[in-house]
Structure 1
């Protein structure tokens, strides 16, 4: 029926806006417990229970009465046991003490040295100032255990060297003797001296290609001879491969 007028609730077409809560309610919600002004519920002390003197000092616990200590009596002797009576020792303690005192060695006092006027002293025997180890039989001698360790190390080194010699002999390597090594070393030094003498005789001005090549060749020879000499001097054992 188009003739009927529509009735809408008042304010339904208007935008609705909520009013913010009061400030005291926000304060109550955001405040955590026990963070307000004082405790919410506090028992107020009575006038009779006021703070007394020495009431907060620590007090010792009351002493408990433990009573008398019970002393345990010895066991009742058996029926077969008889009391020991009338026994006397025949030892003369006076004579024994005199004999022990006569046979004992007198105790020597410790030697001390006083170095200040106030009377402070220190023991001399253990201070390191007395040469009491000089009279020992093994003073200044190598201990036996060190000699044993050195012998074991020498034997192990000789065994390792022998195994290495066998291994190199199987590969065809021959060790040069001391005389041969010295002879080779002297030959290398003489060769270096000859090359150096020829190098010193070169012209100072190197203006042609042959002169430059000759100078570079002689420098290379001298460097190689120096490396060989250093290698022989550094290594006493030199091995040469077989032909």
Structure 2
């Protein structure tokens, strides 16, 4: 038999760690975690390797042969030779000795102002080497400069390009003007109303004429009314469409 006390004991206890409550003072049972398997190397840790990569502490655990270091390079030096200059290097001035005192207080009685003035006066006069040039005798005097021809040619080429651009723009404007333009809905309705009104007026006048006409002028008038009514009907049929395009003249 299962008693009520056993059911209460088996019921999981609520955890109130996420919010502050007086029930947090009740000691909670810590959950049991399964043991984790640790990593174990497949090599025996008590056996030293033959050569350690970073073994710098303590004596080496393997045999070291000194014969391997004697055959790497021959340690004998070449014979000594006396150094000699291969080029003639100019020697510097001799350094004065400590008991050699330089001469001080040397003065001269030469008047350099008078000496320079006398040298200038004694010089011969300079000859003017500049020759007068008569430009009227120069080759090409009075002729049109060549750079003016080049400038004139550039101006003509520029004007030709401008005229070509103007011609192309005028032709494009002409083509744009020749393209038909779509009539707006208001214009279409206005034209339809005007044609309908005109057709009613002609129809009213046409209906007042007699059936049998013997006069030639009345026959011509009747035929003219029929022609106008036919043209108006054709125009109304064209304007009855939703999209109507009109050519510009």
Would you call these one fold, judging by a TM-score over 0.5? no
Larger fraction in helix: 2
Structure of greater Rg: 2
| Larger RCO (CA under 8 A, 6+ residues apart) | 2
Q: TM-score when scaled to structure 1? A: 0.29
TM-score using structure 2 length = 0.28
